[in-house]
Amino acid sequence: MILTVTLNTALDLTYHVPELRAHRSHRVGDVQERPGGKGLNVARVLAALGHEVTVTGFTGGVTGRVVQDLLTRTPGVVDALVPVGGTTRRTVAVVDMRSGDTTRLDEPGPVIASAEWSAFQEAYEGLLAGADAVALCGSLPPGVPVGAYAALVRTARAAGVPVLLDTSGEPLRRGVAARPDIVKPNAGELAELTGSHEPSRATLDARRRGAQSVVASLGAQGLVAATPEGRWRATPPHRVHGNPTGAGDSVVAGLLSGLLERLPWPERLSRAAALSAATVASPVAGEFDHPTYENLLPRIALTTLASAA
């Protein structure tokens, strides 16, 4: 079983409009609802790949009940969310059908009380007992300590469970120091962590800060990875146009599925890059276009990078 942690779960709403224009009313052509937050997106992709997944994090209020109801309709995903007194946030993605661009509006999430954080930590320790790997994903809701992910990384390592961290800012900086097995930042998050805007160099710096392996998402330019086994760049053969929301979450799913299937690192990266691009071709986060994925997987260009001096 793979465990995904989404401390700041959400109800994701995706609106499609003919053209998004400021200061205008818009008639929405299509509305889609999905359980949201990075870890829930990861879980849906993993389930689609045939893996058993349990999701945990916080849920509360009317929005939280909608999220949990939607999760019951997701085959292969087990709901182990922890209830809180606040209300789960909403995120809104507005897709401009003319340009293909997406505009996002993200609420901050409920304030988490110290007793609720303690209850989550206890539940998390219990879930680790049945986990083969764990992904810690996304932002922290108000009230959760900034070092929360570092603590959860250490708990997973003590339990002997491989852990992947996908967050940003200070939670990322502290989490990397706790020595997760894999860190998956995007280019901006990696630059903020290391001070370097050259991704290949920055992945090496992030490893020196504590991460065992670092895989950075570079958008349409694919992935760059620094691992104990080597360094690679994985690039799709062409740019895929669509909604990029959730593309990084599909990278996480590809890396975790490859880890559990004991694939060599180059194969993990090819899978992750193909899934990411195929997610852009899907209308909503947490899903990928299967024909696009099957078409891209054998066409991902893998380049071996020189070892660090």
Q: Angle at Cα 12 formed by Cα 249 and Cα 96, nearest 5°?
A: 90
Terminal Cα distance for the chain, rounded: 38
Instruction: Look at residue 309 in the predicted model and tell me its pLDDT.
Output: 43
Helix (H, G, I), strand (E, B) or coil at 118: helix
Chunked mean pLDDT (size 10), the chain, 309 residues: 96 86 82 88 95 96 94 93 95 82 85 97 97 96 96 98 97 97 95 91 93 93 93 91 83 96 96 92 80 90 77
How many whole angstroms separate alpha carbon 214 and alpha carbon 225?
Answer: 6
Q: What are phi and psi of 195, to 5 degrees?
A: 85, 0
Instruction: Report which secondary-structure segment, H or E, holds 39.
Output: helix 38-48
pLDDT at 307: 67
How much is the pLDDT for 20? 84
Residue 94's pLDDT is 85
Catalytic residue among 79, 166, 249, 289: 249
**CA neighbor of 40 nearest in space, from 88, 1, 8:** 8
Active site residue 30: no
What is the phi/psi pair of residue 7, to 5°? -70, -30
Per-residue pLDDT, 31: 81
From CA 272, how far away is CA 46, in angstroms rounded? 11
The whole-number pLDDT of residue 308 equals 56
The model's pTM is 0.91
Predicted confidence at residue 51, as pLDDT, reads: 95
Instruction: Give the separation between CA 85 and CA 244, rounded to whole angstroms.
Output: 32
3-state secondary structure 175-217: HHHCCCCEECCEHHHHHHHHCCCCHHHHHHHHHHCCCCEEEEE
